[in-house]
């Protein structure tokens, strides 16, 4: 197996420190982005669950005019829930 290019050169304390600092900054940025994505997904799920709860107990944020509109609202909520679950599975 060929040796990784980074292993060919030897580091000194002064040469490795900037690389380690950059690696830490990259990890911190990735953590921040992941936390933002988690928060967004959490808000989507809470909204969907709230909508489904409203459906279960017959409370709606806006009046539904017909059975077909109710059906469309239910399907839209279920699609959002399905998409959030798929996104969670693919990122986990």
Query: Mean of the pLDDT values across residues 65-91?
Result: 81
**For residue 20, what pLDDT is reported?**
94
- Tell me the three state secondary structure of residue 58: coil
| Residue 32 confidence (pLDDT) above 80 | yes
Radius of gyration of the chain (CA): 24
The C-alpha atoms of residue 47 and residue 41 are separated, in whole angstroms, by 10
Query: Which tokens hold the place of 10?
Result: 């030897």
Query: Does residue 57 register a pLDDT over 80?
Result: no
Q: What percent of the chain has pLDDT over 90?
A: 30
pTM of the model: 0.48
């Amino acid at each position: 197996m060929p040796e990784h290019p980074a292993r060919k050169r030897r580091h000194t304390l002064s040469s490795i420190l900037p690389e380690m600092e950059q690696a830490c900054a990259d990890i911190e940025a990735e953590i921040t982005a992941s936390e933002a994505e988690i928060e967004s997904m959490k808000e989507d799920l809470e909204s969907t669950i709230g909508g489904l709860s409203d459906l279960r107990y017959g409370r709606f944020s806006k009046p539904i005019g017909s059975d077909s509109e109710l059906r469309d609202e239910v399907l839209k909520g279920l699609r959002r829930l399905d998409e959030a679950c798929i996104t969670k599975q693919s990122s986990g």
